[in-house]
Amino acid sequence: MKKELPKVYEPQEVESRVYETWEKNGCFKGHRDPERKPFTIVMPPPNVTGQLHMGHAMDCALQDILIRFKRMEGYAALWVPGMDHAGIATQIKVEEELRTKEGLTRYDLGREKFLERVWDWKHKYGDRIVKQQKKMGVSCDWDRARFTMDEGCSKAVREVFCSLYEKGLIYKGSRIINWCPHCVTALSDAEVEYQDKPGYFWHIRYPIQGEEGRYVIVATTRPETMLGDTGVAVHPDDERYKDIVGKKCILPLVGREMPIVADEYVDMEFGTGCVKMTPAHDPNDFEVGLRQNLETIRVLDDNGKVVEGYGKYSGMDRYEARKAIVADLEEQGYLVKVEPHQHNVGTCYRCHSDVEPIISAQWFVKMAPLAKEAIRVVEEGETKFVPDRFSKTYLNWMENVHDWCISRQLWWGHQIPVWYCDDCGHMTVSREDACECEKCHSKNIHRDPDVLDTWFSSALWPFSTLGWPEETEDLKYFYPTDVLVTGYDIIFFWVARMIFSACEQTKQPPFHTVFIHGLVRDDKGRKMSKSLGNGIDPLEIAEKYGADALRFNLVTGNSPGNDMRFYTERCEAMRNFANKIWNASRFLMMNLTIDKCELPEKLELEDKWILSKLNRAIGEITENMDKYELGVAAQKIYDFIWDDYCDWYIELTKTRLQGDDEDSKVRAQQVLCYVLTDMLKLLHPFMPFITEEIWQALPHEGDFLMLSQWPQVSDSRNFPEEEKAMELIMDAIRAVRTRRSEMNVPPSKKAHLTVATSEKAVFELGIPFLKKLAYASEVSIVDSGVAPEAAGTVTVVTHVAQLSMPLAELVDMEKEKARMEKELKKNSAELEKLNTKLNNPGFVNKAPAHVVEAEKERAVKLTELVAKLQEQLQSM
C-alpha cells in the first residue's frame, strides 16, 4: 500500500522521526559476517568538552557518506564512534567552573576528589556532541561508542607504555621542552603553533673578566632569560675572538662569571658573532651546553615567573621582569642598542599563550626507530593519502621528527604507570598498580603524578577501540580499518602517531587510506573563530534548512584537501533541491497506479534515454565515490536529478501519463518509479533523511532504503543510439525555447515549426515532444536545405537541424522590430565606447592587467550580442 506524501516537505519533523526509526531497528550496527568483506571507519574522537562546529559537521558528513555507500554496496560496514578525554581542555574547563562557582582550586579538593568532579562533568555534558551528531544523520554503531579513558582503552595505554619502556623506546630525561605557563604543562612539538610577532633585538655588553673596558656584545629577543646565562660562545675560526676563548666574562646585573667557549654552532656572519648561552631556556644552547660542559640554571618557574635568588626580579612575571631588566641594563650602561625584529614565536595550541622553552624532567618517546616503519608504509603505498600531496607533508615531518614529550603536568588523563621507591630510589614500571618496589620490596613508594599526553591514547584509537591488546574477534575481522577521514591540520598531532603506533604494536598500518579534507571557512575565506565572531552553528542551519541541505552544501564543490567557503545562501539552494525532489516524487505518486517498481518490456525513446543516462550516472558516480571524489559525485547526482529527471523526463512523460493509452501510461509510471528509486539510492548517502522518507512511500522491497542495494551498471539499460537521438531532439527544443525567450514570446503563443534535417527519422519520433515543449502548433519534418527562407521567418540552428517559425505568428512585427533596434543602438554605442577605451595606449599600458583583460572579455561579449541582434533584425 503506497503512502501519501504531504504537500510540503518539513525536514524538522521528518529528520528526527526517521533517525529514531533507524536507531530503533538497529540499522547502524556493524556485524562480523564471514560471507562479506569488512569496511571499517573509526571516528576521529571529538573532545568531551566539544560541541558541534562546522568543521565537525563536514567531517561527520564525509564519513557518513562513505559508510552509507559501503553499507549499500554490501560490505559489513562498521563505523566506530567515540570521544577523547581532552586532558588540558577538560581540566581547564572544570577548574574554571570550580573557581567561578565555588571559589576553589583543584588543590583545595585534592587529586581524588577533583577527578570525581571531572567524571561528574563528563557524565553530565559528555553526550552533548553525540546528540548533535545524531541530528546530522551520523549512522555509526552507537553501541560500540568508546572513550579514551574507558577500561579497554586505558588497558591499551598501559600496555603500550610498558612495552615501549621495556624496548628502550620510552625514557625519562631532563631536556628542553615546550612549556605553557598558562596551562602549566609541557607540550609536544606538534602542540606549538608559530605566529609571526613583532619584537626586538636587545644588544648587551658582557664585560671580559680582568680586561677593563673590553667586552663582547650579544643580542637577545628574551632579556628575562639572561639571568640564566652560563656562557658565551664564538666560532672556533673567528679571528676576532681567538684570544678570548677560554677566558671568562661577567653576566651583567647578576655578576656571574661565565666561560667564553668556541663552538661551531655559532654563525660568524650573524650579528657580532658572539652568542649568549642559556642552556636551561633554549634548545640550541642546551646542546652547546652539553658539548661545552656549561652549567644549566633555570630562572623561570612553571608559571613563567622569575625564581628565588634574583633579588627584585624574583616573583616577577616574565614580561614584567623583561621591562625591569632592560631598564636596569640601560641605567647601568650595558644596553648598546635596541632593534625592531619580526620573529616566529611559539604559542600554545590550546590557550595561545607564548610557549616558554624550559629544561624539565619529562617522559619521552624515542622517535627515530619508530619513524622508520611509519615512513616505509607510506612510501611503499600500504597507506595512501588522498590527495597524494599530503604524503609529502607527512613524510617530511616523519623524516625530521624529534623525540616526543609525552608527560603532562595535569591530573585528568592516564596517569603514568611508574612508581618511585622512597627508600632505594628504584623506578618500577608496571602494567598493574604497584604495591611495592620491585627491587627492594619496600612499601614506601609513590606514583609519578603526571599524566600522558592525550594524543598518546588517541594514537592507539584504530586498534584499542576494537579490543586490543586482547586478540578479539572484532580485531581479527575489522582491523586494519579502511579509511581515516580527517583535516590536514592534525596530520602531525594524530595521523602520524596512529601510523607509527599501529606499525609498532600490531605490525600493520592502521588504515589503507587517509582521506584529507580542508577547513570550513566563512564566506570571506577567514577561519571561523570565537575571536572573529564569524562561527556558524551547524545545528541552527540544520534547524532552518534541514540537515540534508547542510550536508549537501558541505560536500558539493568540495575537493579533497582544499578549504571551502561556507555560504548560507547555498543552504537555501540545497533546500530548494530537496523540495524539487519532494515535488517530483509527489507528482509521480499522484499518478501512480502500480504497486511494484520494475521495468516494462516495451520502452519508448524517452524511456531508453533516461535509463541510459541513469546507467552512465551510476557508473561514474560509483567510480567517483571509490576515488573519494565526493564533491564530483554529488554534483553529478544533482545534475541528473534536477536536469535529466525533473526538468526533462517528467515533462517528456506527462503526455503519456495524462493520455488515454492505459498501457503506455503504466509503462511510463514503471520507468518513472524505477529511475526515481535508483536515483534515491544514489542520493541517499548525501541526503539520507528525505531519500528514506520518499522511498518508504514508494512501492519497494525491504525495510529501509539505507539497507538496500547500491545501484549497479547494467548492459540491458545501455541505449547509446536512442540516447543520442533523444539528445538531438532536446537540443532542438532548447534552441527554439531560447530564441522564443529572447523574443519575449509567451509559451501560450504557438507557431508552426518546420524542421529541416538529415535525421528525419529521429525528428519524426520527436514530434510529440516538439509540440509540447517547443510550443509548436504543428511540426513539419523536411530534408536539409528545404527550410523556408522567406522574410518574416525566425530560424534557429543546431548541428543537425534548421528550425524555422513564421515570425508573424509569434510577435507584433513592428513592435518587436522597434524593440530590437533600440537594444541594438544601445549595445552598439556601448561597444564603440569600450573599443575606444581599449584602443587608448594610456589605458592599456597603465591599468592593471586583470582590469584590461576583463574589459577585453566584455568587448567580445558585446560584439557577439550586437552581431546576434543584427542577424535577428535581418531575419525579420
Q: Which three cell numbers stand for residue 503?
A: 606499525
Residues 6+ positions from 98 with CB-CB distance below 8 Å: 104, 105, 106, 109, 117
Most confident of 620-624, 751-755, 811-815, 839-843: 620-624
- Name which of 462, 430, 464 is nearest 447 in CA terms: 430
d(CA 68, CA 382): 25
Stronger pLDDT, 864 or 76, i.e. the higher one: 76
Residues constituting the chain:
876
* Secondary structure of residue 435 in the 3-state scheme: coil
Q: Are 447 and 418 in contact (CB under 8 A)?
A: yes
* Secondary structure of residue 228 in the 3-state scheme: helix
d(CA 431, CA 162): 7
d(CA 668, CA 652): 10
The number of CA neighbours under 13 Å toward the Cβ of 839 is: 6
Give the lowest-confidence range in 39-43, 462-466, 781-785. 781-785
Whole-number pLDDT of residue 187:
85
**Mean per-residue pLDDT for 276-290?**
93
Q: Is the peptide bond before 480 cis (omega within 30 degrees of 0)?
A: yes
d(CA 114, CA 449): 14
Q: Which three cell numbers stand for residue 396?
A: 617530511
Stronger pLDDT, 334 or 567, i.e. the higher one: 334
d(CA 722, CA 335): 88
**What sign has the CA pseudo-torsion 667, 670, 672, 678?**
negative
Whole-number pLDDT of residue 438:
92
Domains of the chain: 185-357 (3.90.740.10), 568-699 (1.10.730.10), 723-811 (3.30.2320), 815-875 (1.10.287)
Strands of 616-702 (E only): list them. Answer: none
Give the lowest-confidence range in 55-59, 646-650, 710-714. 55-59
In percent, the amount of the chain with pLDDT more than 90 equals: 70
d(CA 762, CA 849): 49
- Name which of 644, 669, 642 is nearest 583 in CA terms: 642
H helix intervals, 73-127: 87-102, 106-109, 111-125
* β-pairing verdict for 801-806 and 793-797: antiparallel
Residue 3 has pLDDT above 70, yes or no: no
pLDDT in tens, 724-748: 999 999 999 999 999 888 888 888 8
Residues 6+ positions from 264 with CB-CB distance below 8 Å: 235, 236
DSSP-assigned letters across all residues of 528-580 = P-TTTT----HHHHHHHH-HHHHHHHHHTT--TT--EE--HHHHHHHHHHHHH
d(CA 558, CA 517): 8
d(CA 451, CA 330): 44
Amino acid code (one letter) for 134: K
d(CA 578, CA 546): 9
Residue 584 has pLDDT above 50, yes or no: yes
Amino acid code (one letter) for 567: Y
The CA distances from residue 169 to 161, 366, 403, 404, 640, in Å, are 9, 5, 10, 11, 56
Q: Are 535 and 529 in contact (CB under 8 A)?
A: yes
Residues 6+ positions from 167 with CB-CB distance below 8 Å: none
Residues 6+ positions from 115 with CB-CB distance below 8 Å: 411, 412
pLDDT in tens, 162-187: 999 999 999 999 888 898 988 888 88
pLDDT band of 797, cuts 50, 70, 90: confident
Helix (H) or strand (E) holding 48: none
* Secondary structure of residue 95 in the 3-state scheme: helix
Q: Which three cell numbers stand for residue 718?
A: 545501455
Whole-number pLDDT of residue 1:
43
H helix intervals, 318-418: 318-331, 367-379, 389-399
Q: Is the peptide bond before 848 cis (omega within 30 degrees of 0)?
A: no
Q: Name the CA dihedral angle for 239, 245, 248, 251, rounded to a multiple of 10 degrees.
A: 60
**Mean per-residue pLDDT for 356-367?**
92
pLDDT in tens, 509-533: 999 999 999 888 888 888 887 767 7
Give the lowest-confidence range in 218-232, 472-486, 681-695, 833-847. 833-847
Q: Which three cell numbers stand for residue 308?
A: 628565588
Residue 282 has pLDDT above 50, yes or no: yes
- Name which of 202, 216, 215, 213 is nearest 327 in CA terms: 202
d(CA 129, CA 81): 11
The number of CA neighbours under 13 Å toward the Cβ of 108 is: 8
Cα 4 versus chain centre, distance: 39
Amino acid code (one letter) for 320: E
- Name which of 496, 527, 508, 502 is nearest 188 in CA terms: 496
pLDDT band of 662, cuts 50, 70, 90: very high
pLDDT in tens, 664-680: 999 999 999 999 999 99
d(CA 193, CA 178): 11
Whole-number pLDDT of residue 256:
94
* Secondary structure of residue 393 in the 3-state scheme: helix
**Mean per-residue pLDDT for 413-427?**
95
H helix intervals, 293-348: 318-331
Whole-number pLDDT of residue 806:
85
Whole-number pLDDT of residue 159:
97
d(CA 483, CA 513): 5
pLDDT band of 618, cuts 50, 70, 90: very high
DSSP-assigned letters across all residues of 266-296 = S-TTSTTS-EEE-TTT-HHHHHHHHHHT---
- The label of the residue with cell 600493520 reads 508
Instruction: Determine the straight-line distance between the first and last CA of the chain, rounded to whole angstroms.
Output: 58
- What is the CA angle 338-344-348, rounded to 5? 120
Stronger pLDDT, 638 or 51, i.e. the higher one: 638
Q: Which three cell numbers stand for residue 364?
A: 619521552
Residue 637, Ramachandran bin (φ over 0: left; ψ between -120 and 50: alpha; else beta): alpha
Q: Which three cell numbers stand for residue 197?
A: 610577532
pLDDT in tens, 19-55: 999 999 999 999 999 999 999 999 999 888 877 788 8
Query: 759: how many CB neighbours lie within 10 A of its CB?
Result: 19
Residue 702 has pLDDT above 50, yes or no: yes
d(CA 660, CA 654): 12
Give the lowest-confidence range in 21-30, 251-260, 340-349, 522-531. 522-531
Q: Are 195 and 344 in contact (CB under 8 A)?
A: yes
* Secondary structure of residue 659 in the 3-state scheme: coil
**What sign has the CA pseudo-torsion 424, 425, 428, 433?**
positive
